[in-house]
Amino acid sequence: MVDLLTGLAREKNCPILMVTHDSRVFDVADRIIRMEDGRIIDDAAVDAETFARLEKEEDF
């Protein structure tokens, strides 16, 4: 399903906003905004360093 959405976004040149608790989508995200108690606690473009950090965090 994620492949379908990302392919469509590229084809139509439009953004996709995905809200999930599933860390398996990290590898297709351009940006990850983390929230806690309704507030933004982290907003980062996804590069290799950010991806590795988020993947290791146990509470995400």
Tokens representing 18 are 């995905």
Contacts of 14 (CB under 8 A, 6+ apart): 8
What pLDDT score was predicted for residue 27? 77
- The reply to whether the predicted model has a pTM over 0.75 is no
- Residue spans per domain, the chain: 18-60
Residue with tokens 């905004």: 33
Q: How far is the first Cα of the chain from the last one, in angstroms, to the nearest whole number?
A: 22
* Alpha helix ranges (H) inside 1-60: 2-12, 48-56
Tokens representing 48 are 């290799």
Per-residue pLDDT of the chain (60 residues; tens, 9 = 90+): 888 988 888 899 998 888 888 878 877 888 889 899 999 998 888 777 776 776 676 554
Q: Are 54 and 32 in contact (CB under 8 A)?
A: yes
